[in-house]
Structure 1
């Protein structure tokens, strides 16, 4: 789980532990909430790796070196993302801010996947946390332009990534978690974290059990296809 310090990443770790998974969770900085999970009865099932920033290639390479020689992952889920100044029209945002949003939300997740795809089990899943806001066809009202565009870019890059690795048997899933009450989603959001993560984990487990092979799909937390 890449980006597990809070919100959906933290919720996903908690739910996976409840379901009996062995979880490796990465964070940029120590997380008290994640440490509390590790201190519980599931502590042997959770490994926390700190100082992992997906925007820093050296940190990603160090993580890969740390995990070399270990069993392959059934699931790699890149959750990390930002919504810096999302309410400002993209044409008015400082160029460096827009660039960083695209770096973190679109480029770095794909670079991480390129670095780790050989560590995924043949029947496994590489998942990216995206958003329905990244759907071009559903964008009728605008707003959150830079965030929308960064997630649309992630969707396109993920589909290209899957195509470039078309001979691989693992599957790529772009996951829309719903509008969730987190720091990013805000207090007006319609879903709590638990409802969203239960749906996402159930969907991922079904995909793994059914042995779906290859390709790239864009799904919400209930398993419904989201229009591109």
Structure 2
């Protein structure tokens, strides 16, 4: 099993955070994590601002990059080897529907998506949803999304006229972080603490377990 640090990843942060202002996030950080087997690893992370976007460069034995979205005091991230990886930062509504922004590695702009639940147990994320949204370029789309619990994670599939897009998701409270883009696009969701540290789980679509990371400023 390759560790979390062996994948490309980055953050796209969009708004202010409780206890941490967006302009304070750029800088150098130390990453401490444990992979799916509990093995510890460390690395270095640099966050730079680019308008509403924050790019990350992660360094261990080489430099890696990726993307993500900030909502409140949570940071939703996608990481992977190519620009096809996307992340959705979804809020789980009281009626069981899902709603939130999404973005990809190529652009700073965000799209949006609403998922209306059609089948599945009340109070559970698992089920079938009708999906409607807009791309970061403003084009509208619709399709069907299925979500299924697998171990500590959720397997997700979006289907429209262009085919299937598989993904992996993590639930944290009333939030669902989803990464699409194939077997090598993973997802993370961090809590941004008042002291500026970021901590939370990550998932890989090829495994049903969670790893964890804590990110501290150097």
Same fold (TM over 0.5): no
Higher strand share: 2
Higher helix share: 1
